[in-house]
Amino acid sequence: MQYPLFSQEPYRTFRKTVRDFVVEEIEPHVDQWERQEHFPNELLKLMAGKNLIGVSLPKDKGGQGLSFWHEVILAEELAKSKLVGWAMSYLAHTNMALPLLVKLASPKQQADILMPAVKGEFYLSLAATEFQNGSDLVSTKTEAVLQGDKFLVSGEKKYITNGSVAKYLITLVRTKSDKNIWSLGLLLVPTDVDKIGITKLKTSGLKTSDTAEIKFLQCEIPKDYILGGSQRGFYYLLNGLMRERLMGAVALNTLAEQVLEQTITYLKDKVRFSEPLSRKQVIRHRVAELASRLEAAKQFTYNVCAGFEKEEQVDQEIIMLKIYCYETSQDIIKECVHLFGAEAFMQNHWLARIYKDSQAFTLAAGTSEVMRDLLAGMMRL
């Protein structure tokens, strides 16, 4: 069922603009980029040329001043391209990094960094995760010690999306020795600074995303590169993570829907024992259950998006989405692999690739286990 709002203008026209871009500039190259495990940097510039970066950002910040629903449509159409890795890199740039700069960057930083990033001149990255701590961001060990007019940054970050292609890292750092959330800040770190080591990591999925390990070896960063004060980083980061989790649900729902639709077509065409597989009751019932779960996930997500767009308090619902929608999408994709049979087990099959890609989403932005515990706390259990 289509969300009623999307049948109206200007949403229909905007969706067509994004769909045309995906068909012309992305889909013809998906297999090649996946084999190369790389995406061309100019793809971001092409997106900017179609006004598809920062679509919901204010116009005076370089954005298009459109609604959050336009971001939802954009995420859905990018997910349909099946270039899941790059879509993740793009959303990290547009829905994590850019909103933080809009909210926290100084006028000079907005002119020098935000505006060019919206124009697609370079990628941004959020560097928060550490190997020893994972989803436990409160235990961040990377330090930024203020000495005079500079911070000395020491520590390591790992599994960082866009880490080796970004020009700037929005880095979660500990600015005081206190082990609490009020000693954490967000610091802009240029990736061309001295005494920084960046290594691109090999992953089993998301081949067209960029994932990196970053080592800060007493990097000197100007003190005015701190974003929003040296003690509010964790608070700002949590707000950004909520948006990331919501957009991830949007993208995963769409990905699962695409997979299910193509699986149904396959089952109708594939004949076994003198009739299409889609006529076998055990398969029909399984597909019916998958479709029901998917529709529940989609409508739940749209309902939360409506609250988010109105700036309502929907953090608890987003955590629920992070659990239910992410796991439901993974279940659907896994079941579709089984329904396709041995064909989907072949290395270069599109469904085998999507299955591996989808496994990363219940790890990123907080594991399912962490989300369940966080949700229980919100429910005061």
C-alpha–C-alpha distance, residues 208 and 158, integer Å: 17
State the virtual CA torsion across 165, 168, 169, 170 in degrees, nearest 10. Answer: -140
Q: Which residues contact 373 (CB under 8 A, 6 or more apart)?
A: none
- CA 210 to chain CA centroid, Å, is 12
Q: What are the residue boundaries of the structural domains of the chain, listed by start?
A: 4-121, 125-231, 235-378
Handedness of CA 289, 350, 90, 156 (dihedral sign): positive
Structure tokens at 349: 């099959």
Contact, 317 vs 305, CB < 8 A? no
Element (H, E) at 342: none
Residue 300 near residue 325, CB atoms below 8 Å = yes
Q: Residue 230's pLDDT is what?
A: 64
By C-alpha distance, which of 34, 44, 168 is closest to 101? 168
| DSSP E strand stretches across the chain | 123-127, 143-147, 150-161, 166-174, 184-190, 196-200, 211-222, 226-227, 271-272, 275-276
Nearest one of 96, 244, 66 to 169, comparing CA atoms:
96
Distance of alpha carbon 209 from alpha carbon 225, whole angstroms = 27
User: Is 178 strand, coil or helix?
Assistant: coil
Alpha carbons within 13 A on the beta-carbon side of 311: 1
Structural tokens at position 347: 């290395």
| Radius of gyration of the chain measured on its C-alpha atoms | 21
- Please give the DSSP secondary-structure letter assigned to residue 346: S
Taking CA atoms, 340 is separated from 259, 333, 336, 345, in Å, by 11, 11, 6, 9
User: Which residue is it, tokens 């560097």?
Assistant: 127
Q: Vertex 42, ends 40 and 45: CA angle to 5°? A: 145
| Each residue's pLDDT tens digit, 54-72 | 999 999 999 999 999 999 9
Fold exhibited by the domain 125-231: Butyryl-CoA Dehydrogenase, subunit A; domain 2 (2.40.110)
Q: pLDDT under 70 in the chain at which residues?
A: 1, 230
Cα–Cα distance for residue pair 28/24, rounded to 1 Å: 7
Q: Which two tokens stand for residue 246?
A: 């919501």
* CB count in 10 Å sphere of residue 26: 22
Q: What is the pLDDT of residues 88-117, one digit of tens each?
A: 999 999 999 999 999 999 999 999 999 999
In this predicted structure, what is the pLDDT of residue 134? 83
Class of domain 4-121 (CATH, top level): mainly alpha
CATH architecture group of domain 235-378? Up-down Bundle (1.20)
Q: Using alpha carbons, select from 155, 96, 154 the residue that is nearest to residue 123.
A: 96
